[in-house]
A = this chain, B = another copy of it.
């Protein structure tokens, strides 16, 4: 049950991360291969770094063809929608007539929050499963890296400073999720509850931070970023 929920949330996360990477690449007019690479790297980059740090070689992504196919197809979908702008516009008009308004970036942000929650928890889980349960620093760090690493690689490959270093409360949400999951897994709570609480905490904090425009303090609060 607990693994099923993590599994489901991971699927949403891979889709959301792949879409966010592919969209950034499409905005820069990279070719179909560039879009595919950015999508796949964003979806799996954090997990690969985690596996390298934990000494799990080859990284787990190479044994999960379904996840990889999902990331590749999501990226291709983004390419097609960018390529067929006319089709995309028609889709928007069609939905608007049915009083459904598409807020793409809001939608991606929503999925992305779910992915962040799922990845931060599943990253800690991998550390626990591989015998690092007695090293909270390591377990929580690889959880956070699983959650935010893909996005950091995406931004680096795009020649930008990783947005996670300045985006509203993004990393803090991952830290709280990974930390609470580590603590709850060492408590008497059933592991299903630990997953739901930690995932929920990350997702709720991330969404609230977007809606209410929460930011972590900066050296010069008045300067725009």
Contacts and interface: CB of A to CB of B under 8 A. Distances in A.
Interface of A: 25-26, 28-35, 37-38, 48, 52-55, 57-59, 62-63, 65, 68, 79, 82-83, 132, 135, 137-138, 141, 152, 156-162, 164-166, 171-172, 215-220, 223, 225
Contacts of A26: 219
A161 B161 contact: no
A198 B40 CA distance: 25
B216 A33 contact: yes
B62 A138 contact: yes
Nearest to A33: B171
A165 B219 contact: no
B58 A132 contact: yes
Given A37-B171, A68-B137, A171-B37, A30 B157 contact: no
A82 B172 CA distance: 21
A75 to B, nearest CB: 12
Given A63-B135, A156-B157, A165 B38 contact: yes
Contacts of A57: 52-55
Nearest to A152: B157
Given A29-B166, A31-B166, A152-B157, 12 more contacts: A25-B165, A29-B220, A29-B225, A30-B161, A31-B165, A34-B165, A37-B165, A53-B58, A55-B55, A63-B135, A79-B217, A159-B160
Nearest to A163: B34
21 contacts: A26-B219, A30-B161, A30-B166, A30-B218, A31-B166, A31-B216, A33-B165, A33-B216, A35-B219, A37-B165, A52-B52, A53-B59, A53-B62, A55-B57, A55-B58, A58-B132, A62-B135, A65-B137, A82-B220, A152-B157, A156-B157
The 7 tightest CB contacts between A and B, nearest first, are A55-B57, A34-B165, A82-B219, A31-B216, A62-B138, A26-B219, A159-B161
A58 B138 contact: yes
B138 A29 contact: no
A39 to B, nearest CB: 12
